[in-house]
Structure 1
Amino acid sequence: MVFQQEGHLFQLWYPDSMTKVLGKQNLGSLHGYMHKYLKNMVQNLVGHASLKKMILEVESVTTRHIEKWANQETVELRTATADSSENLRENFDDFMMGLVSIPLAIPGTAHHKCLKGRKKVMKVLKNMLEERRAKPNEANTDFFDYVLEELKKDDTILAEEIALDLMFLLLFASFETTSLAVIVAIKLLTDNPRALKELTEEHEKILRDRENPMSGLTWKEYKSITFTFQVINETLRLGNVVPALFRKALKDVKFKGNYQLTPL
């Protein structure tokens, strides 16, 4: 009922303490046309068209490298310096520890470290954006390229601050949720040998049916792994890899005559 009434009775919302960390212009704090505009930008990055291009790289990803790959697809960290890549990783650790902590911005607290981590990450992203602006890629390969193209347009509604906040949010989302989902999936499959057996058989069948055993994964093969998709969905359902999603009531809401939600 809450999700069905999105934008009418309820609205995506975060507490002020989390907004300071995620950024005042983050996707969850913007609504209406701007929210839709940014959502379309993200879909251009991870939608079907992009996924078809990624499919061969997805096949080669190992569990050990999946977190690194997810970050690279959002922002091509391979083009940055090694120091920048390491700084992002270190500061995201501080960021995660303080995201849902008591919001006391006192030196030594988790929240204070979280805010410092965000500041450092934003500085790295700003520098990477400036480097890409000074030396653009010949072909659009990642989100930085897409953002720069949007910023060049005379009629754009995208501001650099909003774009950087979005990059920050996407990087954090892939850093935290991807690795956690993989760990949960491995644990669940270890505890359910029947599911592991069926999953293995589904992928072995793809290999057996190939004319060329050495050929890469095709889009048709990807669409055929229905049990794999069920494993992924069940992992996300049981793992609950997103730390928190908040909604606020826009008006008084009664549910089944027993409960009433009041706007903040």
Structure 2
Amino acid sequence: MWYPDSIMRIIGADSIITTLGSSHKYIKNMVFRLFGPENLRRDMIKDLQKTAEASLLSWLHHPSIELKEAASSGRKNVMKMLKEMMDERKKATGRQESIDFFDVLLEELKEEKHAMSENVALDLIFLLLFVSFETTASGITAILCFLSDNPKALQELTEEHDYIQKKRPDLNSEITWEEYKSMKFTSHVIHEALRLTNIAPVMFRKATEDVHIKGFAIPKG
């Protein structure tokens, strides 16, 4: 994987995408400590439901919804904000367990033989914020587009969620891990949409040598 300098200035020189081998594996496993199945089951699934419901409810009183692309105020401003948040978190006392990614990173930085610096930690947070916004929006857009063209799939998806709600003793109760795991068709819809659509805005490749394909010459570099 190769990225041009213009992209690296945004993502950061200490980003996980620049690491290889054991270092990359270590950082990836650390990310999964927060975003893996156990935390999803215990905490995140309820937070995701609350966020989704709040967003949808905010639309109810509007005759139409205008979707706008969010623009970053610049890497320097974002990194400054993240640094201030990390410094405040360092000063906090009485935190008994890791509750977000800042805590996971701070635990790592406290280790005597930690595998990352504070700059790497901040770049990692920035990268997660940067890539998750675009890919999540693109993924949801693709799913809605495919469902609008496939009414049978939309009907089956609706029936699956209606069935889950009807089984609840309380219709307003929060989603459970068991309900999430039972959404088989929902999972198929998501995976099929991701199979058919490239949600990454661009993938860069760099030729390590001159290449000739069907009469076209791709020079090294």
* Range into which the TM-score falls when normalised by the shorter chain: 0.7 to 0.9
- 2:189: which partner in 1? 231
Q: Which runs of 5 or more structure 2 residues have no equivalent in the other structure? A: 57-69
What is the deviation of 1:250? 6.4
Letter in 1 for 2:80: K
- 2:203: which partner in 1? 245
What is the deviation of 1:252? 8.9
What is the deviation of 1:33? 1.4
Q: Per the alignment, in what secondary structure is the counterpart of residue 188 of structure 1?
A: helix
- 1:130: which partner in 2? 87
Is the Cα–Cα contact under 8 Å of residues 251 and 263 in structure 1 kept in the other structure? yes
- 1:23: which partner in 2? 12
Q: Alpha-carbon deviations, 1:163-216, whole Å to 9, x = none?
A: 111100001122222233223322332232211111000111112233554443
Instruction: Tell me if 1:57 matches 2:35.
Output: no
Return the alpha-carbon distance in structure 1 between the equivalents of residues 115 and 218 of structure 2: 34
Q: Alpha-carbon deviations, 1:55-80, whole Å to 9, x = none?
A: 222333427739xxxxxxxxxxxxxx
Return the alpha-carbon distance in structure 2 between the equivalents of residues 28 and 262 of structure 1: 24
Q: 1:46 aligns with which of 35, 42, 52?
A: 35
Is the Cα–Cα contact under 8 Å of residues 14 and 29 in structure 1 kept in the other structure? no
- 2:59: which partner in 1? none
Aligned residues: 206
- 1:84: which partner in 2? none
Q: 1:219 to 1:64 in 2, by over 3 A?
A: closer
Report matched runs for 1:113-262 at 5 Å: 117-136=74-93, 137-248=95-206
Q: 2:23 aligns with which of 23, 27, 34?
A: 34
Q: Alpha-carbon deviations, 1:121-152, whole Å to 9, x = none?
A: 11111111111111254431111111111101
CA RMSD between the two structures: 2.9
- Normalising by structure 1, report the TM-score: 0.68
Return the alpha-carbon distance in structure 1 between the equivalents of residues 50 and 37 of structure 2: 19
Q: Per the alignment, in what secondary structure is the counterpart of residue 200 of structure 2?
A: coil
- Normalising by structure 2, report the TM-score: 0.79
Identity between Structure 1 and Structure 2 (%): 44
Return the alpha-carbon distance in structure 1 between the equivalents of residues 19 and 206 of structure 2: 14
Letter in 1 for 2:36: G
Return the alpha-carbon distance in structure 2 between the equivalents of residues 250 and 164 of structure 1: 31
What is the deviation of 1:153? 0.5
